[in-house]
Structure 1
Amino acid sequence: MSVTIKDVAKEANVSPSTVSRVLSDSDKISEKTKRKVRKVMNELGYHINYNARVLVQKSTKTIGIVMKHSATHSWHNPFFPEVLRGISTYCHKLDYSISLTTGESEESIYKEVVKMVHGKRIDGIIVLYSKKDDKVVPFLIEQQVPFVVIGKPMEHTNEIMYVDNDNVQAGKEAAEFLIDLGHEEIGFIGDNPDFQVIQDRMNGFKEALLSNDLFYRDEYIKYVDDNNNRKIVTELFNQEITPTALVISSDIQAIGILKLLHEIGYRVPDDISIVTFNKTFITELSIPSLTTVNTQTYQLGYESSRCLIELINEPEMFKRSVIIPTVIEVNDSHQKVLKV
């Protein structure tokens, strides 16, 4: 015979409603009582009947995750597993499951989101990006679905709860780190500029150059995709005046650029310095190890799930932003400029 909430309540000497509040991690219950009730649950072997909960509460206890790219592409980027680890950690604390979009194009991802919402398969959604002309966020607003965006919204700012870094400041600090080392000819390499994070980091980079009375060269600003890495590296280093340093918007891009620089005979950091973004295993294992702006990816995921579950429980709450600080992690891909 299965153990019930009443059984747990009797053994713990509390009311069944207290057990229910412990299950939902209510802040109205003290930590001492939560520990006592959870200990009894473990001792009695109590397991939540999720199917019954869904029927009674009209809740799936599931959060949808909308990826920036297709599932195949996302798993190749170390940012995604790390942000997902943060999301999963908080969800696990409150017995929420996660459901990933599986489309292989922007349109198929959007259709997957529509299925999630109309099929009532999720209680809320975390969108892992902020992008120009995106269809997902306007749909979620229209459907009045609780959702949180990782990244600063490009539109509907007052209607959206989001978690982000100050990417303008992060881009500025990355450039100033190189400027303080004596670099004056600095390039910027980003991916799709339709994403807000890339615009912000590039704008911060530009601000740092101008505030230090350095030339801002359009020919030093490059945007890459999977097919043009070699082309932009060739363009950067076939100019009369070439960069002595690069700010690169992600670690996965930096690895590709590092390989191409090696192929054309440029040594890092002897010939060119690099600062990138996102601290992952890639930045530590690359040769040389990459100096990086640590965006605290795990914390971005953790805070986004915490904010979303709060929003699910209190749909009328004020839509706020949470800014996660960044810090430069110094490794081996930079050096000072030797003045002649």
Structure 2
Amino acid sequence: MSTRRYPHSSVSPEEFHKWLSALICVLNSVYFLLNMIVMQKFGIGAVQFTVAVFGGYCFYKSSKGLYQPWHSHTLLALLTLNILISVAIMGLVAGATYWGLALPFWYYSLFGLRKGFIFSAIIMLSAATVIFYRTDTSVLMPYRTVFNFTLVYCSIWLVCHVYEVQRQKTSEYLHSLALQDDLTDLQNRHALKADFQAFQHSFESMHMLIIDIDHFKNINDKYGHDIGDSVLINVADALMQSIQAKEIYRLGGEEFVILFKNISDEEAFRQAEKVRKAVELGIFFSHNEPIKLTVSIGISSLRPEHEFTDILRAADQKLYQAKREGRNRVCA
């Protein structure tokens, strides 16, 4: 529906990438020096130097707020390649295999559930193949080595997968709390502001309708707040049923907002009239007593220089004009 940026229920992938790139830079710098000076493994040393440099580059970019998703993909690809090459060249003696056990956690933390699962599966098969062919048969049994590695890897993989599933469920729940009105199930003011910012430069025109239930205080005073809440729910349902727009919000109290994208002033007015008539013709009940409702609607249109508060204020002014002129009307 929109390009909102949601809050994360844990450390964001961007922040995790920043500090992981710093860790990878430091660790590969140490291994580069060991392989070049002590072990005389110049090929592996060259790979580790490349990984260290790119890790430092990623940390620098992230620190400046210039993170790009391809940074994470390239960094993990280089790190994975480094681990597989180390195992292929040096076998199990150097212990590079152990670093492969950390990969599922990094994959899921950076790439989410689907890519984390796919990448973890690919690495398990790749690592098991390399281990099988590079196991020193005079010291270890290839089948048992691959079997034990696969069991340990799958155990860690399973924990990472379950954790990511739960994290996503928690995030979705927090998003619904943050962006959804719990009474009417419409989107709330926070969602309205987020959508406006996402739509602002994506569409040639945008219209905002502010809809206010006329004399709503009288309904609360006469029938009670529980009936008032029922009226708000019914009005929200009427809004959703009368028009096709998905961008419908409860602004607060008895006020609702609808956003329309890429329609003319005439069409915006026609849609507002459709909403007004749907509420006016509807019958709402307090126990068995019918309640007749009307709404006043103000319309504003987006201009290039408008910010969220500008278009909201303009629609609000038109709303009060509709109320001054007798209510149950649309002003644009």
TM-score range, shorter chain: under 0.3
**What TM-score does the superposition give when structure 1 sets the normalisation length?**
0.26
The answer to which structure, 1 or 2, has the higher relative contact order (CA under 8 A, 6+ apart) is: 1
**What TM-score does the superposition give when structure 2 sets the normalisation length?**
0.27
Which has the greater radius of gyration? Answer: 2
